Chains A and B, each alone.
Chain A
Amino acid sequence: MKRLITVITCCIVVGYIFLALYPFAPTYIKNSHVSGMTNKVKKILGLGALFDRPNTLIGKSATYRFYQNGKWQPKQQLLEPLFEDYKLSGNIAALKHCRLDGNLVWNIAYIANLDGVEKMRHSKEYAEFLDHLIYRHNHNIKPDSLEISYYTKNFETDSLDLSLTFKVKP
């Protein structure tokens, strides 16, 4: 029994050493099916590096507005009020909500930039985002129309660059 525990522990430690050295592995290993498996294991175990990809270092922002009762409502910031709530009162639920919204809007912006707005509108990510937006940000009332704008932040000029905007009937 003791030998079995030793063998299992030894295998796990060897696996860890492989994961640690993986960034320096030759390209042919990185291009093989080992890559997909390694990334999956790292993702499950939370072994990724923080802020190591250019994408994670881009500031993002989103606004929305609804057309209902015969007029366009004022534009609203999607993430700002939630993050402000966390900053001012330490509300962790608001921070988690901010992360959820950020993730949902990032997913649809990514698909729209890659495949176009029309394809994005038929994706499950868009359905997920829309369902959440209407439920949590419009008291579960389906608007006649809605507009989403997605921006990336330019740190040098402190300006917001419009990355995506669209109007749709939900």
Chain B
Amino acid sequence: MNNFIRDILTGFQTGIEKHNFPDTNIKWFKCCTYLLLLLKMLFIWPELSMFYRHALSVTSGSLMPHELFFLPLFKDSYHFYWLAACIVVGVSIFYRRFILLSIAVFVITMNYFLLANKAINTGDKLLNFFIFMSIFVQEGSLKNGIRKMINNAVLIVLQVHFCLLYVINAFGKIINPFWRDGSSFNSIWHLSYYANPNLIPHWLLNPKLYFITAWVVIIFELIFPVLIWFRPFKKPVLIAGILFHIGIAASLSLPDFGVTMIIGYLLFFDFKQIYTKANTQITV
């Protein structure tokens, strides 16, 4: 039994060590997550005083780094804190190798999370998770070093997390009769303050297409976590996913969720192929 576990662990360790994550993926993944956080912070600014006031009615603040923002000390200067936080996130986009900056960005994303506590969605939680895991991921690590192995382990966990998100969504839908018969889409396409009627084509609103749409969604969520690991399917699956999430972001008014999911695709994207193609074209 012990030998069996040891063999499994050795195999798993070899898998982690051999897993190849180019620096380009790490660079773009970190850049985009930080940039999205910065945009969200800037977009929320017009309602900052309202959200801050509401957050104070729920959170009293403490000396914990992520709750400092809500201490009475900042009650009259929260706009300056937010400006400083935006600058820190902006700087961290360019100086991604500083662990302290990565930790500061995580504290700031937690500030945002507490600030918008009753207005957050899965996208906010996912972005938080991405930013937390980014603390442990560094560009420019040496091959076969511990740093490289930590990078690989964290990125594998992120990839598994991302795939699992689809699996859980697919399973959650399959066990519901209103998803199996497609009637869920009758509600979703009419859902007040989510569905955007300007962006939903009228021809989609019929029971046959509700059924087809529901099953296309379920099948996509089931096959993505499988096909994404096979090189020939990677590109079509990613393109389908990007279209899928742009559709959700626009038609169901979940823009940040859609963008976060698309950023997650950077973990799987093959930049090498694109660079090789571009270099070949330049040489020709």
Contacts and interface: CB of A to CB of B under 8 A. Distances in A.
A46 B150 contact: no
A99 B119 contact: yes
A16 interface: yes
Given A51-B188, A135-B50, A96 B119 contact: yes
Interface string B51-65: 101100110000000
Contact of A96 (B47, B165, B167): B47
A61 B174 CA distance: 29
Interface in B216-268: 253, 255-256
B146 A2 contact: yes
B190 to A, nearest CB: 4
Contacts, number: 159
A113 to B, nearest CB: 18
Interface in B120-167: 120-126, 128-129, 146, 149-150, 153, 156-157, 160-161, 164-165, 167
Contacts of A96: 43-44, 47, 51, 116, 119
Contacts of A168: none
Contacts of B172: 23, 48-49, 52
Interface string A98-128: 1110111000000000000000000000011
Given A5-B149, A10-B9, A58 B253 contact: no
A20 interface: yes
Given A49-B168, A79-B193, A5 B53 contact: no
A61 to B, nearest CB: 6
B16 A93 contact: no
Nearest to B187: A57
B122 A50 contact: yes
B121 to A, nearest CB: 7
A92 interface: yes
Nearest to B120: A99
* Contact residues on A (Cβ < 8 Å of other chain), bracket: 35 or more
Contacts of A127: 57
Interface in B162-214: 164-165, 167-169, 171-173, 175-176, 178-179, 184, 186-188, 190-193, 196, 198
A28 interface: no
Chief secondary structure at chain B's binding surface: helix
Interface residues of B, number: 63
Given A45-B161, A50-B169, A59-B192, A5 B57 contact: no
A17 to B, nearest CB: 8
Contacts of B18: none
Given A19-B168, A93-B47, A135-B50, A52 B179 contact: yes
Contacts of B47: 93-94, 96-97
Given A51-B184, A57-B191, A100 B119 contact: yes
A41 B51 CA distance: 26
B20 interface: no
Nearest to B195: A59
Given A10-B12, A48-B122, A100-B116, A95 B153 contact: no
A155 B190 contact: yes
B118 interface: yes
Contact of B171 (A20, A50, A58): A20
A131 interface: yes
Interface of A: 1-3, 5-10, 12-13, 16, 19-20, 23-24, 42, 44-52, 54, 57-61, 79, 83, 86-87, 91-100, 102-104, 127-128, 131-132, 135-136, 153, 155
Going nearest first, the 7 A-B pairs with the smallest beta carbon separation are A49-B172, A46-B125, A57-B187, A92-B43, A99-B119, A59-B192, A100-B119
Interface of B: 8-9, 12-13, 16-17, 40, 43-47, 50-51, 53-54, 57-58, 116, 118-126, 128-129, 146, 149-150, 153, 156-157, 160-161, 164-165, 167-169, 171-173, 175-176, 178-179, 184, 186-188, 190-193, 196, 198, 253, 255-256
9 contacts: A9-B16, A52-B173, A57-B184, A79-B192, A95-B253, A103-B119, A128-B57, A132-B53, A132-B57
